[in-house]
Amino acid sequence: MASITALLIGSLSYAFIILLVLRFLRVNYYNPVVKSFVRLLSPLASIFTFIAGDLVGIFLAAVVFKFISFYIMAGSAYGLFDLMIYALFNIFSSISQILLFAVIGGVILSWVSAGNPHPLLQLIEEISDKILSPIRNFIPSMGGLDFSPLLVLIILNQIDVLLSSIVRALL
């Protein structure tokens, strides 16, 4: 029973991480996927955003739910401070993984079905474009080839490796 509860609370944490990414990147809020996602999480998010502001409140909600999930799973095997540090780094790692998969999805969609009217595919393309646009300002396409996704994927992967090594060193 405890593992199911931890799974549900951890899933809620991931939902807040996705909401944090959507708010940070300022995606199209008229997209039906984003609109329903925000509407679903708004009642619970309003408690945290009232306390700490918009982005910080959503980040705080993700950390709190991730911490509770880890506490249910680990119990007293780790200290509270260790679980909090692990929750923080797990949040940052999850953000980098979401961005990594969004870039991969955006690249695949640009090959397969660019400009598809499906709201979820539009959301993936929008997130990917918002991540890639700063890099595209520095690295122009060469002969029709765009190398910015490759650089972004390397950077996001290195961020994830760095976060994992920091967690291993601390715990």
DSSP 102-141: HHHHHHHHHHH-TT---HHHHHHHHHHHHHHHHHHHHS--
pLDDT digits (tens, 9 = 90+) for 79-136: 888 889 989 999 999 999 999 999 999 999 988 987 788 999 999 999 999 999 999 8
Q: What is the mean pLDDT of residues 138-161?
A: 88
Q: What is the mean pLDDT of residues 149-171?
A: 90
Categorize the per-residue pLDDT at 53 as very low, low, confident or very high, splitting at 50, 70 and 90.
confident
pTM: 0.91
pLDDT at 75 over 80: no
Which residue range is the domain that position 31 belongs to? 2-170
Tell the residue number behind the tokens 């991931």, with chain if given: 14
Answer with the residue of higher pLDDT: 80 or 157: 157
Q: How far apart are CA 13 and CA 46, in angstroms?
A: 15
Structure tokens at 21: 């990414």
The per-residue pLDDT for 34 is 94
pLDDT at 76 over 80: no
Q: What domain count does the chain have?
A: 1
